[in-house]
Amino acid sequence: MLVSHENIILVDDNGNIISSFQPEVVSLGGSIFFSGNSTSNLSIANDVDFRMGTGDFTIEWFQNQNDNNPYPRVFSIGSFPASIGVSIEGGTFYFWAGFAISFGSVIPYKNQWVHFAISRQDSSLRVFKNGTQLGSTVTNTTNFNNTTNLLRIGNESTTSNLAAFGGNITNFRWVKGSALYTSNFSVPTSPLIAVNNTKLLLLASDELNAYKDSSGLNKIINNSNVSWSNTKPFI
């Protein structure tokens, strides 16, 4: 999407206006809004690209959450106990690897934009909130190889109101084979790009491309009662 700014006016040496025009710049996008009930989510068919095996990976996104559901899943492949997924329950961040791994409190996190990232380097599993590592590095060698369940964003594979995420998500990036973050880092201040090994990238760049996969792989994103919003984490 292109947005216009104030006119640029060109004048000659005598102060006479030669021309006036509006420059156009690329918008910094928007986000996907989830209503916080079982019918509001995105889904992508089961794919080998989401099976990290025992290798390295990075999953990251920006969110602005406002629901009061007890077990909201930001994303999940499988249902409880998910083969892989994230929930924030009572302010505690859980990464699911067939079982729950607690990374401690992320309060405050509601009604504000927050960047989360999960990375695994060899067997070192880390979670970051706004570029700062949560808790201790966890040793994890789980073989993520679910060949059955779809990837659900905003709920579990089997949806429920209890597991529904409410709020906005954008710049959801799934990278298979690379741990992009292994220590504290500066939060991105512009939309993410499809770095090497990116398997899914949801930028919600504008209403027309709200559910487009920008990874270059053009995965089909199934939209169930979510909507595009011009709310975004970037100024």
> How many distinct structural domains can be found in the chain?
1
Q: Which domain holds residue 110?
A: 29-229
Rounded CA-CA distance 93/104 in Å is 6
The 10s digit of each residue's pLDDT in 163-215 is 999 999 999 999 999 999 999 999 999 999 999 999 999 999 999 999 999 99
- In a domain, residue 208? The reply is yes
- In a domain, residue 87? The reply is yes
- In a domain, residue 202? The reply is yes
CATH assignment at residue 160: 2.60.120.200
Residue range 100-124: mean pLDDT, rounded: 98
Q: Which region, left, alpha or beta, applies to residue 157 given φ > 0 means left and ψ of -120 to 50 means alpha?
A: alpha
**What one-letter code names the amino acid at 40?**
S
pLDDT for res 17 = 64
Residue range 52-71: mean pLDDT, rounded: 98
Q: Which region, left, alpha or beta, applies to residue 141 given φ > 0 means left and ψ of -120 to 50 means alpha?
A: alpha
Say whether pTM exceeds 0.75.
Answer: yes
- Retrieve residue 43's tokens: 């889904």
4: pLDDT confidence band, cut at 50, 70 and 90? Answer: very low
- In a domain, residue 149? The reply is yes
Rounded CA-CA distance 206/228 in Å is 8
